[in-house]
């Protein structure tokens, strides 16, 4: 089993960005102290839902603040970045940290980021596969690389720096098309919080039907909201009171680049749904929920969003309690 903490660095009501980022750094340090295996950082632009514009930049800071724990991106949005630039950063972080960096990448969405950064809708709609292939080629240990594709073209250049071993790469998957893309390249999926165990098991089954060798050895990653309380009633009440306050304004930051209609989630109903799907309750409730995921999906790498209760103190307490009261139960039950 691997168990990690997932941090989105949401800006809570009445808080500034500096406080949100300081809390996120403190939470990552607390995750190492609490015995977690890794910490994962989300990346967003132009919204209060998450105020980290570069997950790799913050990962570098956290790798310097920690000694044991792995630090990963969940995810670096590949549609906004040049794959070579991201691969260079990943190789750099892996090398200077002694292999503690993990790279999660995703397609992102049809958001205004594409206009601001100049990558455009084609990179989102048709360029993700090529972007991923170029990133993987840069990381595979070769000395030089040139490229001649639909979205990227350049003459051969030296690959610098070359990591002693490439960092592990995972792909955020929210559709069968992206699942197949990950499977064809033998990369693990990073499965989000918006779906439950049944949908995750179905995604893994579709992934397994791809005719690619070694897929049975792939370790996927499952993301969960997690909140510990003295009882399920108390934990649910905490999230229903606090989570919609920051979630509603945060979700408004998803603005389509081309004016296409976007389904808007009701923050109260979304919070209620998250409480139904995920480990929210007493330590026993949380451990049982996570073990059900392991049994239903076979996934043995779980990462937990622990900062939903709306304050720095609540976040740090939740991480401490998850590490002390939930993680040992999950490790024992999954052994």
The CATH number of residue 175's host domain is 3.20.20.30
Q: What is the chain's mean pLDDT, rounded?
A: 96
- pLDDT at residue number 217: 77
Q: Is the pLDDT of residue 216 over 90?
A: no
Is 259 inside any structural domain? yes
The residue behind tokens 């969960």 is 224
End-to-end CA distance of the chain: 8
**pTM for this entry:** 0.97
Q: How confident is the model at residue 215 (pLDDT cuts 50, 70, 90)?
A: low
Region 298-302 average pLDDT: 97
Q: Quick one: the chain helix, strand, coil %, rounded to 5?
A: 50, 15, 35
Is 334 inside any structural domain? no
Is 330 inside any structural domain? no
What whole-number distance in Å separates Cα of residue 29 and Cα of residue 222?
A: 22
What whole-number distance in Å separates Cα of residue 197 and Cα of residue 203?
A: 10
- The DSSP H or E segment spanning 124 is helix 120-125
- pLDDT at residue number 213: 59
Is 202 inside any structural domain? yes
Q: Is the pLDDT of residue 273 over 80?
A: yes
Domain of 90 in residue numbering reads as: 2-324
- Express each pLDDT in 112-166 by its tens digit: 999 999 999 999 999 999 999 999 999 999 999 999 999 999 999 999 999 999 9
Region 221-229 average pLDDT: 98
Q: How confident is the model at residue 11 (pLDDT cuts 50, 70, 90)?
A: very high
Q: Is the pLDDT of residue 82 over 90?
A: yes
Which of the 8 DSSP states describes residue 216? G
- pLDDT at residue number 210: 82
CB distance 281 to 229 below 8 Å: yes
Domain count within the chain: 1
Q: How confident is the model at residue 46 (pLDDT cuts 50, 70, 90)?
A: very high
């Amino acid at each position: 089993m691997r168990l990690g903490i997932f941090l989105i660095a949401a800006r809570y009501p009445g808080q500034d960005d500096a406080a949100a980022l300081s809390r996120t750094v403190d939470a990552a340090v607390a995750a190492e102290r609490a015995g977690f295996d890794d910490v994962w950082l989300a990346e967003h632009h132009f919204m209060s839902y998450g105020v980290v514009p570069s997950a790799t930049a913050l990962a570098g800071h956290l790798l310097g603040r920690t000694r044991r724990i792995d630090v990963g991106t969940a995810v670096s949005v590949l549609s906004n970045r040049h794959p070579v630039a991201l691969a260079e950063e990943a190789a750099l972080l892996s090398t200077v940290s002694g292999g503690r960096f993990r790279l999660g990448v995703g397609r992102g969405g049809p958001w205004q980021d594409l206009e601001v950064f100049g990558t455009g809708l084609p990179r989102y709609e048709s360029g993700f596969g090529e972007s991923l292939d170029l990133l993987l080629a840069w990381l595979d240990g070769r000395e030089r690389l040139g490229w001649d594709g639909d979205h990227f073209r350049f003459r051969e250049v030296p690959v610098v720096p070359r990591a002693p071993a490439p960092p592990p790469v995972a792909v955020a998957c929210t559709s069968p098309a992206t699942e197949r893309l990950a499977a064809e390249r033998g990369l693990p999926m990073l499965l989000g919080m918006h779906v439950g165990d049944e949908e995750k098991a179905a995604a893994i089954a579709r992934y397994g039907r791809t005719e690619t060798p070694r897929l049975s050895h792939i370790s996927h990653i499952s993301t969960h909201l997690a909140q510990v309380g003295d009882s399920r009633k108390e934990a649910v009440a905490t999230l229903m009171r606090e989570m919609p306050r920051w979630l509603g304004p945060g979700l408004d930051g998803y603005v389509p680049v081309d004016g296409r209609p976007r389904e808007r989630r009701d923050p109260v109903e979304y919070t209620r749904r998250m409480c139904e799907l995920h480990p929210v309750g007493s330590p026993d409730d949380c451990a049982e929920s996570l073990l059900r995921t392991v049994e239903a999906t076979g996934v043995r790498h779980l990462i937990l969003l622990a900062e939903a209760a709306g304050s720095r103190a609540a976040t740090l307490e939740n991480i401490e309690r998850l590490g002390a009261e939930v993680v040992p139960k999950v490790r024992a039950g999954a052994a």
